[in-house]
Amino acid sequence: MSSIPSPSTATLIALESAFATPARNLTKSRGKNIHRFASAKMGKRITVESALECDACYHFDFEKDIIRFCSQPIRYSYYYKGKWHAYVTDFLVQFDTGEYVLYEIKPDDIASSPDFLDEWNAKQQAAEKLGLELELIEEKQIRGNKTLLKNLKLMHRYASRDRLTDTQSLLLNTLRSNGPQPLKYLVQKVGIARKGIMPALCNLLSRNLLETDLDFPISLQSEFELISYA
């Protein structure tokens, strides 16, 4: 990819505004299936226009490097086949480096279509002129690892920013004193059954206070580790 210039002041203002005011207000209509994702990271509902985009939100919500994200962020123009077209991307993401990236979500069959890819190149070039990267996320990247997505949804179910419970504090202190431990050890140490301890663990995972290998189903053999800054 060619070197991308830094975004102008006007572009940065537009990006910042996107987190409060989207370029498009999505409303229910024939042929559209609007979803509202309750984001733990953003503390509000993110409106998207497909189940696939909703599933992408689970990844955005729990990716440690992402500090915030929003849908339908900005509108810009691109030139394609002799005409100017208006375009609004699916998502804007800001990383902990301060970098902004625009994302488009597409099913695998559309993402591999020659016609789509030809027009996509024009959209990317226009974004680069604004000093922004536009990246494509395909369905297989979002849903290909079914276990990961299932675990992210489980974390989301129990996510909150309420005060830590006594059980959660005990879990953190146990791991702080003893290092990484499997779930079966934590169940014995805390004295709470697996069914009762799972909400506390999933909440701590959602806060990025604990980590485990989310590519595998969470079981009694799953090892949990305290994140260094917890």
Q: Helical H runs in the chain?
A: 9-18, 51-62, 108-111, 114-129, 139-143, 146-158, 166-178, 183-190, 194-206
Q: Do domains 9-143 and 146-226 have the same CATH topology?
A: no
User: From CA 102, how far away is CA 95, in angstroms rounded?
Assistant: 11
Q: Which helix (H) or strand (E) holds 66?
A: strand 66-71
Give domain limits for the chain.
9-143, 146-226
Supply the pTM of this predicted model: 0.93
User: From CA 73, how far away is CA 15, in angstroms rounded?
Assistant: 7
Asked whether 4 and 132 are in contact (CB, 8 A), the reply is: yes
Q: Which helix (H) or strand (E) holds 91?
A: strand 91-95
Residue 220's pLDDT is what?
93
Q: Which CATH architecture has domain 146-226?
A: Orthogonal Bundle (1.10)
> What is the average pLDDT value for the chain, to the nearest integer?
94
Half-sphere exposure of 92 (CA within 13 A, CB side): 25
User: From CA 52, how far away is CA 88, in angstroms rounded?
Assistant: 17
pLDDT digits (tens, 9 = 90+) for 17-54: 999 999 998 877 656 789 999 999 999 999 999 999 99
Q: Which CATH number fits domain 9-143: 3.40.1350.10, 3.40.50.460, 3.20.20.10, 1.10.10.10?
A: 3.40.1350.10
pLDDT digits (tens, 9 = 90+) for 77-106: 999 999 999 999 999 999 999 999 999 999
Q: How open is the CA angle 157-163-166, to the nearest 5 degrees? A: 95
pLDDT digits (tens, 9 = 90+) for 146-189: 999 999 999 999 999 889 999 999 999 999 999 999 999 999 98
Q: How far is CA 95 from CA 33, 63, 81, 112, in A?
A: 29, 10, 34, 27
Asked whether 215 and 147 are in contact (CB, 8 A), the reply is: yes
Token pair belonging to 149: 């997505």
DSSP states of 119-183 as a string? HHHHHHHHHHHTT-EEEEEEHHHHHSSHHHHHHHHHHHHH---SPPPHHHHHHHHHHHHH-SEEH
Residue 90 DSSP one-character state: S
